[in-house]
Structure 1
């Protein structure tokens, strides 16, 4: 008598920390539905990972590597995992996993593939000679990556979607737009602003120049020169593996000048946002849809961000927050000052942000959208 095997699901990501912060609820729901869930990332398995009931595979994959032999070796490792466990469905998240994982999936004859475009990074956010050359080199790889016959491609914003539709003629029938990874509205409660002696403006992200850290600090300088009292929090840490990171020396200088308070890497973002009055992310990075802006909305905090793909998709302009041009410290300072001085507007935007989170960003709705995609692919496999 044959024993029916549970369906096998594999998620491939560029880091286990990202999985835990952005995709854990999806994997948990699949396990609840009876799937055997495997997680693949280049990181060592965390000590407490067994608690989730997933099977973990470490597959080294350099974020910045360009050595052809090393990159093909990464594809081979993923292929070996797919061949060994024979998944019914794989979900590939971020650029290298969906480029390399898609090749491995086609070679291993995986029936169904989901490719999650969580931002296009500098490949499309910059137009210098280097990135144009990189796009030319990667064109064929992208065509292969999105060429599986039973595939759904998830975008977080319409700009990224249109970029790939135009570039590689990606079929609309393969596309779903889901605005971000969602937030657990119970973990990010909507509470009244703290009674701060000075308004607190919070920035929470990897401390990369493309995230607008320098513009955030310059806005603080401008407001101090105008006599506007406020505290500017930098929540995060430098990324040593990224050429665009700010340095610890810069952080020390900014803090010594009284421009920012550097809080470092933190896991208590809900509590910090409860203490903040405004959340700002002046990014010009190739964002998908920044989770920090979803979390700000859930906590009922007005947002100041940039009129840039992903960032502008995370707010309702002039209702839940304000948009400013990229790389414009003066406009950023002006917008922050507006919200500092107009408390009624700030509170109104915070309330509208919470409503937006309930309507669009609730993680339960995001998980449900993913389940619908998986079921559709499995029916057509």
Structure 2
């Protein structure tokens, strides 16, 4: 099956790096607009957490109206999202699924689409896709599916990965378009058998963040890791690297930002911290909503993911704030970070390699102020929230034949 570039006119460049499958030229200038009557789009989401994908969903609710589309949410697994979201003007409908086989949820969504006159249904996870597909067929509206990460590599639980990948392949083939957040995710979906012309790359984007000047190398270093902490995020690798760095006399501290996926996993990680004897060097914040404030308190962001990354929002947020990133060279990460230009890339799962990169950065062997400036400039050029919303709107326009 051909991997040729889809013929779509997106108003902002959808390119990351040199990936031809996402290179979509932009016209000289683009104006966002807000017509008198907005086209209504129902985003079907899980809603259990408020992490990277959920921040994308929230930002689209805030920025799509300027592109002619009004967003509302249907939460099939209501949890943290309803209260944590920033853009509260978007209507939110709790439509909980009792199980993965709760087909009554799809019928409820179809009624909601008809009653509220939604023109498109937009799903964001395999679970939400299953019922959104049913609702789209019943209500006779087009379906768009947003692929945030490879479903077959989303967790360390192989059966769950297989089930989600099967659900995705089964339902997404009926979607009018698939939106992939990075070239690597687009390639993954094409490898799963989806038409290249139907899989459109729209890179994630984040708003501009007020930048704290980073014109000199810090004297004392605080690293940050921001995540929904779960096994594939690789915090164990960072903890082992931190132990190695501190054993070498480098008084580096860690600020761990975000909640754990489960209490059981939190207990495992806390036990590892105790065994390594590094508890006094770590601050745990728990769940936070003000990411910009957290980024202002760290000198570099570390993302030691083992696998399963689409285009991590936390990496883009760090770049927007001019915070250099040390990250694993997995999937969508190198499509945001250029090694030794705006961050450092290391092999996943290698604590010694990560420790060496931390020592290299903190010892001044890498030009910290230049990394900071380059990261901020790359965000502004490639990964703005306005560009993301405008490109999603262009996909909607194509689906509706506008």
TM surpasses 0.5:
yes
Indicate the TM-score class for this superposition, using the shorter chain for normalisation: 0.7 to 0.9
Partner of 1:43: 78
Q: CA RMSD in A?
A: 3.1
Deviation digits for residues 315-351 of structure 1, max 9, x if unmatched?
Answer: 1122111111111111111111111112652221111
* Counterparts of 2:388 and 2:216, CA distance in 1: 30
State whether structure 2 residue 399 is matched by structure 1 residue 374.
no
Change (3 A) 1:234 1:342: same
Q: CA deviation at 1:8?
A: 2.4
Q: Is the 8 A contact 2:214 2:372 kept in 1?
A: no
- Given candidates 170, 177, 181, the residue that maps to 1:152 is 177
| 1:21 is the counterpart of 2:42 | no
Indicate which of 267, 273, 296 corresponds to 2:318: 296
Are residue 8 (structure 1) and residue 40 (structure 2) matched?
yes
Asked if the contact 2:42–2:71 (Cα under 8 Å) also holds between the matched residues in 1, the reply is: yes
Does structure 1 conserve the Cα–Cα contact (< 8 Å) formed by 2:43 and 2:72?
A: yes
Paired residues of 1:14 and 1:61 also in contact (CA < 8 A):
no
- Contact 1:319 1:352 (C-alpha < 8 Å) held by counterparts: yes
Paired with 2:162 and 2:257, the residues of 1 have a C-alpha distance of 34
Task: Give, in angstroms, the shift of residue 216 of structure 1.
Answer: 0.9
Note if contact 2:305-2:328 (Cα within 8 Å) is conserved in structure 1: yes
CA distance in 1, matches of 2:163, 2:92: 32
Match of 1:55 in 2: 91
Higher relative contact order (CA closer than 8 Å, sequence separation 6+): 2
Structure 1 pair 247/59, CA: closer, same or farther in 2 (3 Å)? farther
Q: How does 1:321-332 map to 2 (within 5 A)?
A: 321-332=343-354
TM-score by length of 1: 0.83
Partner of 2:302: 280
Change (3 A) 1:343 1:324: closer
Aligned counterparts, 1:1-381, within 5 A: 7-15=39-47, 17=50, 21-32=55-66, 35-41=69-75, 42-43=77-78, 46=82, 52-61=88-97, 68=101, 71-110=102-141, 112-121=142-151, 123-124=152-153, 130=159, 134=163, 138-139=165-166, 142-148=169-175, 151-167=176-192, 169-180=193-204, 182-185=205-208, 187-192=209-214, 197-240=219-262, 247=268, 249-250=270-271, 253=274, 257-342=279-364, 345-379=367-401
User: How far is the alpha carbon of 1:20 from its aligned partner?
Assistant: 6.4
1:194–1:276 contact (8 Å) kept in structure 2: no
Q: CA deviation at 1:56?
A: 1.7
Q: Residues 170-193 of structure 1: CA distance to partner in whole angstroms, max 9, x if unpaired?
A: 11111211222x1111x3435326
Q: CA deviation at 1:124?
A: 2.7
**Deviation at residue 128 of structure 1 after TM alignment:** 8.3
Aligned length: 362
Q: Distance in 1 between matches of 2:71 and 2:271?
A: 42
TM-score between the two structures when normalised by the length of structure 2: 0.79
87-96 vs 47-56, greater mean Cα deviation: 47-56
Alpha-carbon spacing, 1:127–1:28, altered in 2? closer, same or farther (3 Å)? closer
Give the Cα–Cα distance (whole angstroms) in 2 for the partners of residues 321 and 48 of structure 1. Answer: 30
Give the 3 Å change call, closer, same or farther, for CA 35–355 of structure 1 in structure 2.
closer
Residue pair 1:94, 1:116 contacting (<8 A) in 2 also = yes
Cα deviation code 1:241-280 (max 9, x no counterpart): 8x75564743873786334222222223222222321110
Deviation at 1:96, TM superposition (A): 1.7
Q: Alignment partner of 1:237: what SS?
A: coil
Higher helix share: 1
Structure 2 residue runs of 5 or longer lacking an equivalent are: 1-35
Greater alpha carbon shift after TM alignment, 151-160 vs 139-148: 139-148
8 Å contact 2:45–2:125 — kept in the other structure? yes
SS at match of 1:114: strand
Instruction: Give structure 1 stretches of 5+ with no counterpart.
Output: none
